[in-house]
């Protein structure tokens, strides 16, 4: 399994990562060799095997749905790079 | 006289109770040692001396009252200086995960594990270095520089909890919290000659642990012995309504009284003694197994036939989960922002520049493994093979109580040794990944030294929620050996 630079560009875009051309080439090569080493997984017969999404033996219990105080707004906003009028400020999404 | 920092956690707790030493004195001694050694080791990303002294003063006041009513319960961690891996949130204190994308982030709340430890009266000295988002086996992936191994400054301390391991081994603190997603507590414990516990998945709340691989992440701790680990584990373990994957089972009351392991069956998996394992590692582990036998344990060879598939399974599942978890770093709610006129460009630029190379590699690997057309072949198949690995453990645990095996194929490697070869670094984890995929607990502890005087570690694994057996067995071993008492000459 080998990834082309175009495929790496596509994946990086899906993951919202801007890469330099040098990074695109390096990752194409490195991701290809990692995927190659994973190829032997396909040889394992798993037709009768269910997937494991969690190791927990039982479904975890739900806590009672009781309202409780949440963190104050200023605390939540305190780490934001930009705020305005008690909200997160972002560049325009629609032009 | 023994230096205060050479006391074990339990000895320090006893000295605090008797009034032979105050928490402020212990804390100041640790802070002085951190000041003296930090230029060589770089174990910390943030130090919190003011917080530590104020916590120690409160602890001393409580101790004074307690001495008038010594029948009242007082946790053994009360007044004890500890360090916290920088992936666990501590309210108001910089928490970076070793990443520039969380530079200056101050969490608005504390992790349950951290809050519970502080509630017992523990004193926090600072936040320890880690591979970025706990992705790595050496701390070389930290955006803020590599931690050095106190046994040999040219070598890595292991990772990702390498800052915690170096700090405990160098006697900068009595205990440190770590996290283990693929070996990140056990491997650095092994490289630094100390004792480290990876808890069962679901034993300790993950609330406030900044997520990497959510089905694999566990909170653990590093100390100099199993006996010292116990009060830290007891302080943190148990159900938390804020983490729905944290098990409701009661936390066992563990008593470490005795060194008799009669009736305990220990399995040694043949798949863990492979080509490429350092001779001295194999010899030290095999020799430790004979100590367990002398303590009364029954030793038998067992087989975990899917062991060699753990590496590719882990390196698809963990990156897949990471790619989803790390989507939250969008430069909107926290973290630095590399400004752009369009939101889309701002995402690309901020994430592209502020995530390090290994994190980007894993995000892309995970994104690919989850993407349309490849999901079944990669992520889906990895989840199915994960079932086979988990079943291996369940089958073996029908016949034995514990599994004994190496932690890593080698002792601590040199800084820069793996260069830019991700696969070589991933191989460091081959013996630790299976326990995470199966969700079972493991404890790493020192069992010898190699020709370069570097510590060799081994691990025991137990069935899910079987921490009691780990504590008893490792403690019994440590009553008969003194590897855990050796300290680096630093």
Q: What is the pLDDT of residue B421?
A: 86
Q: Which of B99, B113, B138, B160 is catalytic?
A: B160
Whether residue A32 lies inside any domain: the answer is yes
Q: Is B160 a catalytic residue?
A: yes
Whether residue B256 lies inside any domain: the answer is yes
Cα B403 versus chain centre, distance: 19
CA-CA-CA-CA torsion sign (B27, B33, B37, B39):
positive
Whether residue A87 lies inside any domain: the answer is no
Angle between helices B279-294 and B467-480 (to 10 degrees): 90
**How many CB atoms lie under 10 A from the CB of residue B353?**
14
Q: Is B18 a catalytic residue?
A: no
Predicted confidence band of residue A95 (pLDDT cuts 50, 70, 90) = low
Whether residue B448 lies inside any domain: the answer is yes
Whether residue A70 lies inside any domain: the answer is no
Distances (CA, A) of B370 to A19, A95, B310, B321, B352: 20, 32, 19, 9, 20
Identify the domain containing residue B117 by its residue range.
Answer: 4-263+440-453+469-485
**Residues of B286-320 as b/e, b for ≥16 C-beta within 10 angstroms?**
eebbeebeebebeeeebebebbebbbbbbbbbbbb
Whether residue B272 lies inside any domain: the answer is no
* Furthest-apart CA atoms within chain B: distance in Å: 70
Number of structural domains found in chain A: 1
Nearest residue, CB atoms, B383 vs list A27, A51, A71:
A51
- Count helices and strands in chain B by DSSP H and E runs: 15, 11
Predicted confidence band of residue A60 (pLDDT cuts 50, 70, 90) = low
Give ipTM to 2 decimals.
0.95
Whether residue A56 lies inside any domain: the answer is no
For B50, phi then psi, to 5°, come to: -65, -45
β-strands A87-88, A83-84 pairing = antiparallel
Q: Evaluate if residue A1 carries a pLDDT over 70.
A: no
Whether residue B132 lies inside any domain: the answer is yes
Whether residue A30 lies inside any domain: the answer is yes
Number of structural domains found in chain B: 1
CA distance B470 to B195: 11
Identify the domain containing residue A17 by its residue range.
Answer: 1-43
CATH number at residue B78: 3.90.1300.10
Non-local CB neighbours of B336 within 8 Å, separated by 6+ positions: A81, B100, B101, B103, B104, B350, B354
Q: Is B200 a catalytic residue?
A: no
With 0-12 CB in 10 A as exposed, 13-18 as middle and 19+ as buried, what is B64?
exposed
Q: What is the pLDDT of residue B423?
A: 87
B-chain residues near A31 (CB < 8 A): 361, 364-365, 368
Q: Which of B110, B113, B137, B184 is catalytic?
A: B184
Residues B343-388: tens digit of each pLDDT: 999 999 999 999 999 999 999 999 999 998 899 999 999 999 999 9
Q: What is the pLDDT of residue A92?
A: 85
Whether residue A35 lies inside any domain: the answer is yes
Whether residue B315 lies inside any domain: the answer is no
Whether residue B43 lies inside any domain: the answer is yes
Whether residue A66 lies inside any domain: the answer is no
Place of tokens 């002792």: B411
CATH number at residue A27: 1.10.20.60
Q: Are the Cβ atoms of A81 and B331 closer than 8 angstroms?
A: yes
DSSP 3-state of B347: helix
Whether residue B212 lies inside any domain: the answer is yes
A-chain residues near B374 (CB < 8 A): none
Nearest residue, CB atoms, B380 vs list A51, A63, A78:
A51
Q: Are the Cβ atoms of B383 and A27 closer than 8 angstroms?
A: no
**DSSP H helical segments within B90-146, as ranges?**
112-119
Whether residue B108 lies inside any domain: the answer is yes
CA distance B131 to B444: 20
Q: Are the Cβ atoms of A55 and B363 closer than 8 angstroms?
A: no
Q: Are the Cβ atoms of B346 and A60 closer than 8 angstroms?
A: no
Residues B336 and B327 sit within 8 Å (Cβ to Cβ): no
**A25/chain B closest Cα distance in angstroms:** 12
pLDDT tens track of chain B, all 490 residues? 579 999 999 999 999 999 999 999 999 999 999 999 999 999 999 999 999 999 999 999 999 999 999 999 999 999 999 999 999 999 999 999 999 999 999 999 999 999 999 999 999 999 999 999 999 999 999 999 999 999 999 999 999 999 999 999 999 999 999 999 999 999 999 999 999 999 999 999 999 999 999 999 999 999 999 999 999 999 999 999 999 999 988 999 999 987 799 999 999 999 999 888 999 999 999 999 999 999 999 999 999 999 999 999 999 999 999 999 999 999 999 999 999 999 999 999 999 999 999 999 999 999 999 998 899 999 999 999 999 999 999 999 999 999 999 999 999 999 999 987 888 889 889 999 999 999 999 999 999 999 999 999 999 999 999 999 999 999 999 999 999 999 999 9
A-chain residues near B387 (CB < 8 A): 46, 49-52
Q: Are the Cβ atoms of A81 and B464 closer than 8 angstroms?
A: no
Q: Is the pTM of this model over 0.95?
A: yes
């Amino acid at each position: 399994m080998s990834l082309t630079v175009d495929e790496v560009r596509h994946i990086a875009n899906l993951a919202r990562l801007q890469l330099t051309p040098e990074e695109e080439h390096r990752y194409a090569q490195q991701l290809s060799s990692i995927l190659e080493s994973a190829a032997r997984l396909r040889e394992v017969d798993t037709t009768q095997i269910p997937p494991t999404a969690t190791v927990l033996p039982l479904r975890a219990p739900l806590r009672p749905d009781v309202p409780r105080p949440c963190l104050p707004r200023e605390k939540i906003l305190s780490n934001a790079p930009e705020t305005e009028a008690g909200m997160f400020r972002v560049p325009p999404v629609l032009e | 006289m023994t230096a205060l920092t050479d006391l074990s956690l339990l000895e320090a707790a006893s000295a605090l109770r008797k009034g032979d030493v105050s928490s402020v004195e212990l804390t100041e001694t640790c802070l002085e040692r951190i000041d003296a050694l930090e230029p060589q080791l770089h174990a910390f990303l943030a130090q919190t001396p003011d917080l530590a002294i104020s916590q120690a003063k409160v602890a001393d006041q409580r101790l004074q009252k307690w001495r008038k009513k010594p029948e009242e319960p007082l946790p053994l961690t009360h007044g004890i200086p500890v360090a916290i891996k920088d992936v666990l949130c501590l309210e108001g204190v910089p928490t970076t995960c070793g990443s520039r994308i969380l530079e200056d982030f101050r969490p608005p709340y504390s992790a349950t594990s951290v809050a519970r430890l502080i509630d017992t009266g523990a004193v926090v000295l600072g936040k320890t270095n880690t591979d970025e988002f706990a992705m790595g086996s050496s701390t070389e992936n930290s955006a803020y520089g590599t931690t050095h191994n106190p046994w040999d400054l040219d070598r890595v301390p292991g990772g990702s909890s390498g800052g915690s391991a170096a700090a405990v081994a160098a006697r900068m603190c009595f205990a440190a919290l770590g996290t283990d997603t693929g070996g990140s507590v056990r491997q650095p414990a092994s490289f630094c000659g100390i004792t480290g516990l990876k808890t069962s998945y679901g034993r300790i709340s993950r609330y406030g642990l900044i997520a990497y691989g959510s089905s694999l992440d566990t909170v653990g701790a590093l100390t100099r012995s199993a006996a010292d680990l116990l009060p830290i584990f007891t302080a943190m373990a148990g159900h938390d309504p804020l983490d729905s994957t944290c098990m409701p089972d009661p936390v066992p009351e563990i008593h470490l009284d005795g060194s008799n392991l009669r009736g305990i069956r220990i399995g040694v998996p043949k798949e863990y003694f492979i080509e490429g394992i350092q001779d001295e590692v194999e010899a030290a582990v095999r020799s430790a197994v004979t100590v367990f036998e002398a303590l009364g344990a029954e030793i038998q060879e067992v087989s975990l036939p899917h062991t060699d598939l753990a590496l590719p399974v882990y390196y698809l599942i963990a990156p897949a989960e990471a790619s989803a978890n790390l989507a939250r770093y969008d430069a909107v709610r926290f973290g630095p922002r590399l400004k752009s006129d369009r939101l889309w460009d701002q995402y690309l630029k901020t994430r592209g520049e502020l995530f390090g190379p290994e994190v980007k590699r894993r995000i892309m690997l995970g994104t690919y493994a989850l993407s349309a057309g490849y999901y079944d072949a990669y992520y889906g198949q990895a989840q199915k093979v994960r079932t086979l690995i988990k079943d291996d453990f369940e089958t073996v645990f029908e016949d034995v109580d514990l599994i004994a095996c190496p932690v890593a194929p080698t002792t601590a490697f040199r800084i820069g040794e793996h260069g830019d070869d991700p696969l070589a670094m991933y191989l460091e984890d081959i013996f630790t990944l299976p326990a995470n995929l199966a969700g079972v607990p493991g404890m790493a502890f020192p069992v010898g030294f190699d020709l370069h005087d570097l510590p060799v570690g081994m691990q025991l694994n137990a069935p899910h929620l079987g921490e009691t057996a780990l504590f008893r067995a490792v403690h019994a071993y440590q009553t008969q050996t003194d590897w855990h008492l050796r300290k680096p000459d630093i």
